[in-house]
Structure formats: structure tokens, C-alpha cells
């Protein structure tokens, strides 16, 4: 099932569950609330009537027509759904808002429920909400005092149920309308949410088929927008990686093919007697030299593959930056000062401190040596090394005063078999990049403002 249908189904089930729970808990709660409100209304009406009854003299409580009329008048003002009955203990009816038949049917109920006043009284097939109050008539002569009368106020439970049904129906109608609006809103939001995902799926299909140039950036916001940007960036990285891999195989085949052809040519010439004497000796020297070159290329290729894939070849430790640079200068000095060249090497620490980084000391030494040898090959007179601390990073700059790096080589300078002028195998800078990155560092190169190249390595401070 598609995600959009799952979301619609989930939200629909949620709305149904909310409506069912509402019906289950609200419906009986409405009944209890309405009954309590009805009792409060009965009690309020009864208190008003009993104040009038209690204010009348005892003589006027006798069941005469005039007194009954005087007492019944307030009863006419009460709610039409409320029936009132005022009765003496001897069952003399002082007044009643009911019919005569109804009044006679209520007299035995009053006697039945007088000892235990229940909340709901049953009269035939109907249930009633009942409130009873007792009068306290005034009497000037204690000898003529009469027993207090009982006021019975009642309303049919069916009336309350009708109110309950009407109110519940309106409540459910409002909730259903709200649910429809919420569901419509969820359809809109879900569509806005799922549509970018469907487009993103199509772009991932292009990545799967290696159509990296066709991958487009999905314009959307939020977390999905971040994922879309990551996918677009990933497509660019994969395109570059795929191009680099293809170029690597092409360059590797060329780098290996040339010495192999040379070796094969001299070997066959010596075997067939074409090269003899000094020419044969020279051929053997060439074969030996090309074998060494092949060995160096293969060794560096294996090292580079291990640096990019294996974890066990790195021994992480605390490395002193100044000690690392001192070792590099000591080892590279013979290359800088000899019969052919005289390159001055100097370095300075802009912020004197004992700076340390995490990494493999031997691998880091090899990385810096590769950078330094590259700088010496292209320098005119001097190579400078600057060590500084910038924003919690140890920064090592190797600066030469040569012609600089050609613009077309800058984007791919650290890739395999990319060689500049006087380059050897084209793997030295790629190995340096792999080592620096395995030490959680970064490496970059650019041309200086006044000429020459600047190689910058940055590492987190230990």
C-alpha cells in the first residue's frame, strides 16, 4: 500500500475512534448533567413556592377553593414541563398542576417513596425526576398548628432524554463537520508531504541507473527538503566519483602499460639477439629501472587502496606538530639542497604553543613529505612552512615560490594519477589526502596572491 493511502487510512481510523470514544463517554455524561440541572431547577422552583406557602397563615392551608387558588397561582409561573403537587399528610390535596387522574396516581407514590426518597420515581411506564419539599406554616396559636404539607415537583425523564438526544446530535454533527474539515486538511497536507517524496523517489531511480546528470533538486522545505538536497549532493558526488574511477582505470592502465611495453620490447630484443653488447646491458638497466617504477606504482596504489578502505593500518596516537615538521625538514633537506637545486626551507610557528593532533605519526610524516617534495620540485628559491592555530584547528601551510598550479588541475589535483609538471606517479597527493582525511583533517590547495602554490592541512587540536 502506498504511503499516501496509509496516511489517509490512519487518519480516517483515528477520526472514527475519536467519534466512538466521544459517543461512549459524552452520551451518558450528558444525561447525568441534564438530570443534575433539572434537579437544580426543580429545587429552585420548589423553594420559591415553599416561601409563599410558609408565609400563609395556617387557616389558609385548608383545602378551600379560595386558598387553593391563592397557592396555585405561583405554580402557573413554573416551567411547563414541571408538575407540582402540594398535599397534606392525610392525603388532602391543597393544589395540583396535574389532571385529577394523574394526581390520584401520584398519591400512593408519595406514600411509597416518603421513607426513601429515590432520585427517579416510576409512575406506570414513565420515570420522573422528583424533588420533595416540606412546608413550615406559620401559626399564632400552637394548639391550632397543623402538620406540614409536602410539595412534590416532578418532570418526565423522557423530556430530559429528548434534550439529551438533541444536544448529543448537535454535538456529533459539529464533530463530524470538524472531522470532515480536519480530514480534508489532512488530505491537503499529506499531498504536500507525499508529492515531494514521490518526486524524490524518481530522482533516486536516476541515481540507481547512474544517470547523474539528470538528477534535479526537489524544491521543498523542512526535513524532506534537507533530504532532497542531500540526494542532489550525493548525485554530484557519485558523478564525480564515477568519473574519477573511470579516469583512474584509464590512467592506471596507461601508467602500467608504458613500462610493461618497454620491458617487453627490451626483453624480446635481448632474447632475439637484436640487442647485444652495450645495448643489451643498457636494455637490462632500462628493464630494471622500469621494474622499480612498476613496483613503486603498484606499492602506492595498494597503499592508497588500504588508506581508503582499511581501518587496521592506522595507529592513532598523540602527535606533536613541531616534532612532525622537524622530522619532515630533516628528511627532505637532501632533496632541497644538492648539486642541481638549492631550495631554502624555513618554518615558523605563529602562535608559540605545544600543539598536538591525533593521528598515525608515520603516515602523517609520509603525507607531509609528499607535500614538501611536490613543493620543492616546483619552487624557485624557497619553501615556507607556517604553523598556526585557527578556530580550534591546527593549520599547516606549505608555501612555495614557483609558478603556481594550473587552473585546470586545481579541481582534480588530489585525484589518482593526476600529474603536473615534473610529476612522477601521480599518486603522492592522493595518498596525502587519504592520510589527512583519515586523521579527521582536511587538505586543500590554491595559488597565492603573489604567485606560487599554497597547500593547507587543517587538523582538530588534541
Tens of pLDDT, residues 71-128: 444 444 545 568 888 887 777 787 788 888 888 888 888 777 765 555 678 877 788 8
Domain total for the chain? 3
Q: Which of residues 166, 194, 210 is at a domain's end? A: 166
pLDDT at residue 140, as a whole number: 45
CB-CB contact of 89 with 174 (8 Å): no
Residues 279 and 375 occupy one common structural domain = no
Asked if 303 contacts 360 with a C-beta cutoff of 8 angstroms, the reply is no
Rounded to 10 degrees, the C-alpha dihedral 190/196/198/201 comes to -140
Q: What is the rounded CA–CA span in Å between residue 96 and residue 76?
A: 10
C-alpha cell at 455: 597547500
pLDDT of residue 44: 85
Domain check: are 302 and 339 in the same one?
no
Write out pLDDT tens, residues 278-304: 888 888 888 888 888 888 778 877 777
16 and 162 share one domain: yes
8 A C-beta contact, residue 287 and residue 267: yes
Within a domain: 377: yes
Q: Do the beta carbons of residue 422 and residue 382 sit within 8 Å?
A: no
CA distance 363 to 437: 11
* 453/377 same-domain check: yes
Which of the pair, 460 or 3, is modelled with greater confidence? 460
Taking only the tens place, the pLDDT of each residue in 149-204 is 788 888 888 888 888 888 888 888 888 888 788 778 877 877 777 778 788 888 88
Instruction: Please provide the average confidence, as pLDDT, over all residues in the chain.
Output: 78
Domain range enclosing 405? 317-460
Statement to judge: residues 342 and 282 lie in one domain: no
234 and 353 share a domain? no
Q: Are residues 19 and 153 in the same domain?
A: yes
pTM for this prediction:
0.48
- Grid coordinates standing for 2? 502506498
Query: Which of helix, strand or coil describes residue 25?
Result: helix
Q: Which of 138, 166, 194 is the last residue of a domain?
A: 166
Q: Are residues 266 and 323 in the same domain?
A: no
Q: Are residues 146 and 294 in the same domain?
A: no
Query: Is the domain of 349 the same as that of 451?
Result: yes
Amino acid at each position: 500500500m502506498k504511503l499516501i493511502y496509509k496516511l489517509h487510512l490512519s487518519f480516517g481510523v483515528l477520526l472514527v475512534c475519536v467519534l466512538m470514544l466521544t459517543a461512549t463517554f459524552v452520551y451518558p455524561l450528558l444525561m447525568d448533567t441534564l438530570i443534575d440541572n433539572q434537579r437544580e431547577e426543580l429545587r429552585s422552583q420548589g423553594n420559591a413556592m415553599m416561601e409563599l406557602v410558609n408565609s400563609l397563615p395556617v387557616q389558609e392551608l385548608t383545602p378551600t377553593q379560595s386558598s387553593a387558588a391563592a397557592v396555585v397561582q405561583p405554580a402557573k409561573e413554573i416551567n411547563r414541563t414541571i408538575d407540582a403537587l402540594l398535599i397534606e399528610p392525610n392525603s388532602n390535596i391543597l393544589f395540583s398542576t396535574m389532571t385529577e387522574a394523574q394526581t390520584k396516581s401520584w398519591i400512593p407514590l408519595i406514600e411509597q417513596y416518603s421513607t426513601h426518597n429515590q432520585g427517579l420515581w416510576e409512575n406506570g411506564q414513565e420515570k420522573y425526576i422528583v424533588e420533595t419539599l416540606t412546608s413550615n406554616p406559620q401559626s399564632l396559636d400552637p394548639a391550632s398548628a397543623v402538620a406540614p404539607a409536602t410539595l412534590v415537583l416532578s418532570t418526565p425523564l423522557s423530556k430530559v432524554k429528548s434534550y439529551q438526544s438533541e444536544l448529543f446530535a448537535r454535538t456529533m454533527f459539529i464533530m463530524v463537520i470538524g472531522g470532515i474539515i480536519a480530514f480534508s486538511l489532512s488530505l491537503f497536507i499529506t499531498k504536500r508531504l507525499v508529492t515531494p517524496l514521490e518526486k524524490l523517489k524518481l530522482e533516486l531511480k536516476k541515481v540507481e541507473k547512474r544517470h547523474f546528470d539528470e538528477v534535479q533538486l526537489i524544491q521543498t522545505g523542512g526535513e524532506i527538503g534537507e533530504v532532497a538536497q542531500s540526494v542532489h549532493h550525493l548525485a554530484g558526488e557519485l558523478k564525480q566519483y564515477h568519473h574519477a574511477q573511470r579516469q583512474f582505470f584509464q590512467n592506471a592502465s596507461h601508467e602500467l602499460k608504458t613500462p610493461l611495453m618497454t620491458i617487453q620490447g627490451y626483453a624480446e630484443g635481448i632474447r632475439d639477439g637484436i640487442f647485444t653488447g652495450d645495448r643489451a646491458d643498457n636494455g637490462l638497466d632500462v628493464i630494471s629501472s622500469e621494474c622499480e617504477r612498476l613496483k613503486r606504482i603498484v606499492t602506492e596504489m595498494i597503499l592508497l587502496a588500504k588508506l581508503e578502505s582499511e581501518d587496521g593500518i592506522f595507529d592513532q596516537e598523540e602527535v606533536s606538530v613541531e616534532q612532525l615538521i622537524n622530522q619532515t625538514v630533516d628528511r627532505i633537506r637532501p632533496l632541497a639542497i644538492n648539486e642541481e637545486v638549492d631550495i631554502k626551507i624555513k618554518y615558523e610557528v605563529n602562535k608559540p604553543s605545544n600543539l598536538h593532533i591525533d593521528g598515525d605519526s608515520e603516515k602523517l610524516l609520509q603525507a607531509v613529505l609528499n607535500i614538501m617534495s611536490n613543493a620543492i620540485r616546483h619552487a624557485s628559491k624557497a619553501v615556507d612552512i607556517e604553523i598556526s592555530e585557527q578556530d580550534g584547528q591546527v593549520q599547516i601551510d606549505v608555501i612555495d615560490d614557483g609558478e603556481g598550479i594550473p587552473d585546470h588541475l586545481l579541481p582534480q589535483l588530489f585525484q589518482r594519477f593526476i600529474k603536473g609538471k615534473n610529476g612522477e606517479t601521480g599518486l603522492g597527493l592522493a595518498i596525502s589526502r587519504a592520510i589527512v582525511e583519515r586523521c579527521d583533517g582536511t587538505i586543500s590547495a590554491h595559488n597565492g596572491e603573489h604567485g606560487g602554490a599554497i597547500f593547507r592541512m587543517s587538523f582538530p587540536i588534541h
